[in-house]
Structure 1
Amino acid sequence: MKRTGGWREGRQRGEIEQLASGALRVKLYAGVDPLSGRRHYLRETIPPGPKAETEAKKVLARFVNEVNERRNPRTSATLNQLMDRYLELLDVDTTTKQRYEGTIRTHVRPLLGQTRVGRLDGETFDSFYKILRTCRAHCGGKKFIEHRVAGPHECNEKCRAHKCKPLAASSTIRKVHWCLSGALKDAMRWKWITVNPLEQAEPPKAPTPDPKPPTPAEAAAIVNRAFKDLSWGVLVWLAMTTGARRGELCAPRWDLLDLDNASLWIRTAIAQDGSKTWEKDTKTHQQRRIALDAETVGLLRAYRQHCETQAALAETAIAPDGRVFSPSVDHTTWLKPSTVSQRYRRMCTKLGWDMHLHQLRHYSATELISSGVDVRTVAGRLGHSGGGTTTLRVYSAWVSEADQRAAKQLTGRMPQAPIVIDGEGNARTTLVPEAENPYQKIAADLRGAIAAGVLRIGYRLPPVTELASRYNVAAGTAHRAISELKKAGLVKASRGRRAVVADPMIIASKTNESSSTRNVPGDIIQQRPNS
């Protein structure tokens, strides 16, 4: 690009170049690129216009401040270069690294790979996550044909117009986020950038756990189908009772199975990449000992005897450190995890269900929690880290179910609530209300006389005028007191007739007998039944 002008003001740092198009390009030296070893410049182009020169000076001043405060990116490296360096130095299990590489290759590199790390910001990542949520093919709303094969070919009905489909699992976007987070944190440690742009973005929401364990009826059908082959049936049974992961089920050795003490040590797992398999630590890098029930111990003893018989027929013996489940007669080799998963899926398909092996782990966890086992104990059996935090988060629905049973047990030990529910579902207290108003005082005295047996069933209450005179209240106040007793079912009253004490079966729980005769007027006590 031809330079048609440029200037410096005194010893001003940086320069502003005028391009042939009339635009201005701001350029400032910002040190040596740690990745390439070359001189690194901050650059920005200002569109032509009457205020272009003023805007260019503002940009230059901003660049100078960023360099002085060490807030500027120190490299012009792209996100692809950052990801290459991040994966090169990443120290994780082989399977974990392979998942990271697949996630970055499929989702990060196609959309953001050519973007400079220093130009990434919160808006860029928010837009990026929006694209992932909208379409797994990252089409951006563009229409195109999805061909059945790559390269030249003759299209048929399988070559169809693209239809946007979001990622099947929201957890995939979370994986992308964590890959970016790890890489950008390393970039800050390496001084490539001084501000982590991912912190300015809205992180993807965590998916709501939705374990779908088999129902008891489905579990029974699975066990019945699996035990058509003894070795396969014992593996499925052990998956149900221990909740072990797929790789952990393939790894146990006979010398780690202590049938006399009814325990199984889980120390390693089998990992797989294509046809290659190897033994590694468990997912959480924690060993654990799982107690076995009597029925499981009996099945394992019978299975051991069956394996010894098969080995004897082949004129060999089981290796002391052989695998519990093995495709070889001497048990020196382990099962492939993919083989176990595929066989389980085929079995469930024949039963008419679309299930995967990991659901047996959910079954073990939910059954234990539903039976009242402590969450920490369940977490220990499953190999969850965090002291039960993961278990509580994933299986919160079943924890709530156990909590409901606990609430029912507590109800039987609670005192009786002073409430009576009538036939219409209305709640009525059995406590004597505090007499704050005059009508409440009259009603309380009459209620006490009835509860003490002074006013018996069929006895007439004093006339309203007499009650009004004795308590020095209006007749309406005395009438309201009678209405309160009638509402409580203590008296019967009809128009033109004096109130009469009702059936005492309801009265017994209305008040405390010890305070029932307190302050009862003598005229009330002297009332007699209606002859």
Structure 2
Amino acid sequence: MAGRTGQRGHIENHGTRFRAVVYAGRDPLTGKKRYLKKTSDTEKQAQVELTKLLHQVDEQRQPRSGITVSHLIDKWFEVQEHEESTRKTYEGLVKNYIDPVFGSIQAAKLDAELLETFYARLRKCRKLCDSRKSRVTHECEPLSNSSVRQIHAILRGSLDRGVRWTYFAVNAAELASPPRAKKSTPDPPSAEEVAAILNEAWRDPDWGLLLWLVMVTGCRRGELCAVRWSDVDLDRKKIALERSVTRSNQSPTGLKEKRPKGDKERRLTLDPYTVGLLRAHRLATEGQCNELGTKMARDAFVFSLTPDHAEPIRPDTVTQRYRRLAIRNKLRSTRFHALRHYSATELLTGGVDLKTVSGRLGHQSGATTLRFYVAWQEATDGAAADTISNLIPRPETTPRWPHEIIAFDLRKAIADGTYPVGSSLPMNEDIRVKYKVATGTVSRAVHQLRDEGLLRVVSGKRPKVIAVPTPTA
């Protein structure tokens, strides 16, 4: 048995190997004692590992700065630029999850094991309950992977600043692994669902046009709300997407305009039908302004609920109204963003190249488009299967079984004009007698030609030739 080197740490036998063990304080999540452990093949190697572990604990116990996690995050917020909506989300995560557990702890005392345990417990219950003791009091509700990943981003970003500002030497969050991001599974509405919601929405032409424009352009909700008439060139059939509308507590209206996501400004071409709809909408809007004794400004918003169209329609209003519409029509997805999925998948399925689709959507690259909008693959995969099948030369096969021989002879007779398109084949009974086979064998041969698209088969009638077989390459 290896001897102890002191109360803070020791080396112990671990089977045929040696393990260095160092006391690292109490776990702030459970209150239990925590130990750092490292196993080595020899006692000498274990002594080296013990020294390293002791040094790691000393670095955490006596950091260059005693700054707490809460204070460090506050300082990070002061220097890090975030969109207002992102900042609001981050502040909520800090208040509800990070501060209650780590807020008063010195930032230098965090380590990867502690953070990964924290992430794992959040994914089991967002209240970090002890499931064995709290089963009666509440039902555990896990925190989503995306929220846990945002918490990790907050910790990693703030700890990185701490290292840069020499508060401590190691960014523990950089060593920890957050949960994997769940793969996006877009669920665009089908053609039948789109027809249903458009037919109902067009009872209000403004609302119908808004949905139509999302499907045609694939723009984001905030981008559509921010479109002004000065962004629309009806003569050149162009629409500019240069801004986005989002919520803001600092604005008197509760809204503010910002750059589009990824700073991807774009000018999209419109089809003649959509241009006609926009012209009619503009005339109707101008008529409403005239009735109110006002003149519509050049930079008025295309979609607005105010009489003079001076303010944009609220993004939340669009989302809530679409959700009610989707529920009434029993759509699979009630998310307004599904219409953007629909635009992307229909364009890709229709054969539009990936670069063009990516540009219309405002993605940084085609890889982003494929990663999030893959619902088109089933249809295009079928087209690809047909294409490659038609390009490959057909092998010359010799029929072996009775039904194959009958189908081969009938196919050949159709091809050479013995049975032209529009004519009927002999009765099944006549074919049975000729080939001396069972009735079921004849039916099997006829159904094979039917499946190849050469015959139309109706019960009680002779099979009718409807197509000539395609010559093999």
Name the TM-score, length of structure 1 as normaliser.
0.62
Matched residues in 1 for 2:140 and 2:400: separation?
A: 59
Q: What residue in structure 1 maps to residue 337 of structure 2?
A: 358
Q: Is the 1:73–1:192 contact (alpha carbons within 8 Å) kept by the matching residues of 2?
A: yes
* 1:256-293 superposed Cα distances (whole Å, 9 cap, x missing partner): 11112222100000110466111111111120111212
* 1:51-94 superposed Cα distances (whole Å, 9 cap, x missing partner): xxxxxx99997699679999974222222122111112111221
Which of residues 340, 343, 353 in structure 1 aligns to 2:321? 343
CA 1:235 to 1:122, structure 2 compared with 1: closer, same or farther past 3 Å?
same
Deviates more, 1:271-280 or 1:293-302: 271-280
After TM superposition, give the deviation of residue 372 of structure 1 in Å. Answer: 1.7
- CA RMSD of superposed structures (Å): 3.4
1:367-516 equivalence runs, <5 A: 367-385=346-364, 387-399=365-377, 401-417=379-395
User: Aligned to 1:289, what secondary structure does the other structure show?
Assistant: strand
Q: Is the 1:251–1:268 contact (alpha carbons within 8 Å) kept by the matching residues of 2?
A: yes
Matched residues in 1 for 2:402 and 2:350: separation?
A: 37
Q: Is the 1:251–1:270 contact (alpha carbons within 8 Å) kept by the matching residues of 2?
A: yes
Question: Sequence identity, in percent?
Answer: 39
Q: What residue in structure 2 maps to residue 182 of structure 1?
A: 157
CA 1:122 to 1:68, structure 2 compared with 1: closer, same or farther past 3 Å?
closer
Q: What residue in structure 2 maps to residue 279 of structure 1?
A: 257
Matched residues in 1 for 2:126 and 2:25: separation?
A: 34
Give the aligned residue type for 1:276. Answer: G
Q: What residue in structure 2 maps to residue 172 of structure 1?
A: 147
Q: Is the 1:71–1:193 contact (alpha carbons within 8 Å) kept by the matching residues of 2?
A: no
Matched residues in 2 for 1:373 and 1:71: separation?
A: 60
1:83 has 2:73 as partner: yes
Q: Is the 2:60–2:109 contact (alpha carbons within 8 Å) kept by the matching residues of 1?
A: no
CA 1:420 to 1:220, structure 2 compared with 1: closer, same or farther past 3 Å?
farther
Q: What residue in structure 1 maps to residue 137 of structure 2?
A: 161
After TM superposition, give the deviation of residue 24 of structure 1 in Å. Answer: 8.0
Matched residues in 2 for 1:397 and 1:217: separation?
A: 16
Deviates more, 1:61-70 or 1:305-314: 61-70
CA 1:65 to 1:299, structure 2 compared with 1: closer, same or farther past 3 Å?
same
Q: Is the 2:229–2:302 contact (alpha carbons within 8 Å) kept by the matching residues of 1?
A: yes
* 1:136-165 superposed Cα distances (whole Å, 9 cap, x missing partner): 2222326459xxxxxxxxxxxxxx830112
Q: What residue in structure 2 maps to residue 260 of structure 1?
A: 235
Q: Is the 1:87–1:101 contact (alpha carbons within 8 Å) kept by the matching residues of 2?
A: no
Give the aligned residue type for 1:164. Answer: C
User: Aligned to 2:261, what secondary structure does the other structure show?
Assistant: coil
User: Aligned to 2:376, what secondary structure does the other structure show?
Assistant: helix
Which of the pair has the greater relative contact order for Cα pairs under 8 Å at 6+ separation? 2
Give the aligned residue type for 1:76. Answer: G
Q: Is the 1:262–1:292 contact (alpha carbons within 8 Å) kept by the matching residues of 2?
A: yes
Q: What residue in structure 1 maps to residue 291 of structure 2?
A: 313
The structure with the largest alpha-carbon Rg is 1
* 1:496-525 superposed Cα distances (whole Å, 9 cap, x missing partner): xxxxxxxxxxxxxxxxxxxxxxxxxxxxxx
Matched residues in 1 for 2:303 and 2:169: separation?
A: 53
Which of residues 295, 308, 322 in structure 2 aligns to 1:330? 308
Q: Is the 1:24–1:45 contact (alpha carbons within 8 Å) kept by the matching residues of 2?
A: no
CA 1:110 to 1:142, structure 2 compared with 1: closer, same or farther past 3 Å?
farther
1:4-23 equivalence runs, <5 A: none
Q: What residue in structure 1 maps to residue 96 of structure 2?
A: 106
Structure having the higher helix fraction is 2
After TM superposition, give the deviation of residue 228 of structure 1 in Å. Answer: 0.8
CA 1:247 to 1:422, structure 2 compared with 1: closer, same or farther past 3 Å?
farther
After TM superposition, give the deviation of residue 421 of structure 1 in Å. Answer: 7.6
In structure 1, list runs of 5 or more residues that go unmatched: 1-17, 26-42, 48-56, 146-159, 427-531
Name the TM-score, length of structure 2 as normaliser.
0.69
Q: Is the 2:187–2:375 contact (alpha carbons within 8 Å) kept by the matching residues of 1?
A: no
CA 1:418 to 1:173, structure 2 compared with 1: closer, same or farther past 3 Å?
farther
Q: Is the 2:345–2:375 contact (alpha carbons within 8 Å) kept by the matching residues of 1?
A: no
User: Aligned to 2:131, what secondary structure does the other structure show?
Assistant: coil
Matched residues in 2 for 1:67 and 1:129: separation?
A: 22
Q: What residue in structure 2 maps to residue 469 of structure 1?
A: none
Q: What residue in structure 2 maps to residue 123 of structure 1?
A: 113
Q: Is the 1:254–1:324 contact (alpha carbons within 8 Å) kept by the matching residues of 2?
A: yes
User: Aligned to 1:235, what secondary structure does the other structure show?
Assistant: helix
Matched residues in 1 for 2:381 and 2:200: separation?
A: 34
In structure 2, list runs of 5 or more residues that go unmatched: 1-5, 10-22, 27-32, 34-46, 405-473
Give the aligned residue type for 2:77. Answer: L
Matched residues in 1 for 2:403 and 2:226: separation?
A: 60
After TM superposition, give the deviation of residue 352 of structure 1 in Å. Answer: 3.5
1:15-164 equivalence runs, <5 A: 73-141=63-131, 143-144=133-134, 161-164=137-140
CA 1:215 to 1:143, structure 2 compared with 1: closer, same or farther past 3 Å?
farther
Report the count of equivalent residues: 363
After TM superposition, give the deviation of residue 180 of structure 1 in Å. Answer: 1.9
